[in-house]
A = this chain, B = another copy of it.
Amino acid sequence: MILEKKKAFNSFAAAKGLRSTRQRDIILDIFLSTHQHISVEELYLKVKSSNPGIGQATVYRTLKLFAESGLAREILLHDGQTRYEHVVAGEHHDHLVCTGCNAIIEFEDETIENLQKDIALRHGFFIRSHKLEIYGLCSTCRI
């Protein structure tokens, strides 16, 4: 599945006339090996630890490309950092964000997705994407 994602990005890159570079490969590998919701800074540190030569700006630029290619999605929480999560084709998950321990629990609910489509339809709105975040306390922190 990681291989598929790499192929997907390569097609995107080819279609846009982008070059295949060592840095992009490395950053893609590391991004794909991470868990969800990594911040640019976190990813940059990971990248730097195995590849000290790679600059922060490249990581920023590359993540933007990933987002553009549909491989990743930018998410904004309330900590002042842009985070990126993996996009899994045909699947969309939303987040329960614990304000106690910052844990993020993912969930998916088809009914909610369908209701959103109804709402959009009612407003003549064409949906590109959406984001649902529920803030509160997880089972551990609520005690």
* CB-CB nearest in chain B for A108: B119
Q: Which of the 9-residue segments A12-20, A29-37, A135-143 touches chain B?
A: A135-143
Tell whether, in the assembled complex, residue B130 and residue A107 are in contact, meaning their CB atoms are under 8 Å apart: no
| Residue A111 CB within 8 A of the other chain | yes
Tell whether, in the assembled complex, residue B135 and residue A133 are in contact, meaning their CB atoms are under 8 Å apart: no
CB distance from A139 to the nearest CB of B (A): 3
Q: Which of the 9-residue segments A43-51, A52-60, A121-129 touches chain B?
A: A121-129
Q: With a CB–CB cut-off of 8 A, which chain B residues contact A135?
A: 127-131
Tell whether, in the assembled complex, residue B119 and residue A136 are in contact, meaning their CB atoms are under 8 Å apart: no
CB distance from A132 to the nearest CB of B (A): 5
Q: With a CB–CB cut-off of 8 A, which chain B residues contact A142?
A: 124-126
Q: How many protomers of this protein does the assembly include?
A: 2
- Tell me the complex Cα distance, A127–B78, Å: 16
How many chain A residues sit at the interface, stated as a range, is 20 to 34
Tell whether, in the assembled complex, residue B133 and residue A125 are in contact, meaning their CB atoms are under 8 Å apart: no
Q: With a CB–CB cut-off of 8 A, which chain B residues contact A136?
A: 120, 125-129
CB distance from A142 to the nearest CB of B (A): 4
Contact partner, A115, options B112, B128, B139, Cβ 8 Å: B112
Given A76-B76, A132-B132, A123–B105 Cβ distance below 8 Å? yes
* CB-CB nearest in chain B for A139: B124
6 contacts between A and B (CB under 8 A): A112-B116, A120-B134, A124-B138, A126-B142, A130-B132, A132-B133
